[in-house]
Amino acid sequence: QVQLVQSESEVKKPGASVKVSCKASGYTLTSYDINWVRQATGQGLEWMGWMSPNSGDTGYAQKFQGRVTITRNTSINTAYMELSSLRTEDTAVYFCAGAGFSSTYGMDVWGQGTTVTVSS
């Protein structure tokens, strides 16, 4: 079945970078856009950025401009989100979400989430 499988939890020190992977299975990654959304504990959903895996086009929230990079490796059907210059407030669960499978542009297939903890 169609699913997105994310990499395992990470613990990083302030100032470091983290790269979270999102592997598509049951479909070809280039068929649907991928969005990245994060959620700090007890907080709401925060949209970080988007990629068209087909074209490689990306768009990012202003808040993360210069710190976030979304890429993909189509040969292994995997998308990535890298966040640099980590701060303690970046501690959150990071989700990848595919859009448009059964809707116009709803995020209708989600990864399981990757917990990133930033602590000295």
Partner 1 sequence: DIQMTQSPSSLSASVGDSVTITCQASQDISNHLNWYQQKPGQAPKLLIFDTSILETGVPSRFSGSGSGTDFTFTISSLQPEDIATYYCQQYDNLPYSFGQGTKLEIK
Applying CB under 8 A, the residues found at the interface with partner 1 are 35, 37, 44-47, 49-50, 59-62, 95, 97, 99, 102-108, 110-113
What is the closest distance, in whole angstroms, from the C-beta atom of residue 49 to partner 1 in the complex? 8
Nearer to partner 1, 18 or 48 (CB): 48
DSSP collapsed to 3 states, the chain: CCEEEECCCEEECCCCCEEEEEEEECCCHHHCEEEEEEECCCCCCEEEEEECCCCCCEEECHHHCCCEEEEEEHHHCEEEEEECCCCHHHCEEEEEEEECCCCCCCEEEECCCEEEEECC
Min dist CB 12 to partner 1, Å, is 22
Nearer to partner 1, 25 or 105 (CB): 105
